[in-house]
Amino acid sequence: MTKAVRLELNGSPVAAVAEGGENLLALLRERLGDTSPKAGCLQGTCGACTVLLDGEPVLACLTLAELADGRRVTTVRGLQDGPRLHPLQEAFMDGFAAQCGFCTPGMLIAAKALLDREPNPTREQVIEAIAGNVCRCTGYTPIVEAILDAARRLAGRRG
Partner 1 sequence: MAKHRGRGVASVNYPIGMNLGGDPSQALVHATPTGKFVVALSSIDLGQGMKSVTRQLAAETLGVPVEDVFVDTADSDTGPHCMGSFASRGTHRAGNAVIAAAKEAKQVLLEVAAEELEVDPKDLELDGRGKVQVKGAPSRAISVRDVAQRAHFKRGKSISGRGMFLVPPSDVDPETGEMNPVTTYAHACMVAEVEVDDETGEVTVLSLKAAYEIGRALNVKLVEQQLVGGAWMGISHALYETPEPYYPDRAHGPIDFNEYLMPGPADMCPVQIDLLERPALDGPYGAKGIGEMCATPPIPAIANAIFDAVGVRITEMPFTPEKILKALDAKRGR
Q: Interface residues with ligand FES (CB under 6 A)?
A: 39-42, 44-49, 59, 61, 98-104, 135-138
Nearer to partner 1 by Cβ, of 45 and 120: the residue is 45
Contacting partner 1 (CB under 8 A), which of 39, 53, 64, 134?
Answer: 134
Tell me the CB-side half-sphere exposure of residue 150, using CA atoms within 13 A: 34
Question: Using the rule CB under 8 A, which residue among 11, 13, 43, 82 binds partner 1?
Answer: 43
Q: Which does 39 bind (CB under 5 to 8 A by kind): partner 1, ligand FES, none?
A: ligand FES
CB of 149 to ligand FES, least distance (A): 17
* CA neighbor of 41 nearest in space, from 25, 64, 56: 25
Amino acid letter, residue 105? P
Instruction: Identify any residues that bridge with 9 across adjacent strands, giving them in sequence order.
Output: 12, 73
When the beta carbons of 36 and 104 are compared against ligand FES, the nearer one is: 104
Exposure class string for 98-113: b at 16+ Cβ within 10 A, else e: beeebbbbbbbbbbbb
Least distance from C-beta 26 to ligand FES, angstroms? 11
> Closest Cα to residue 59, out of 46, 68, 69?
46
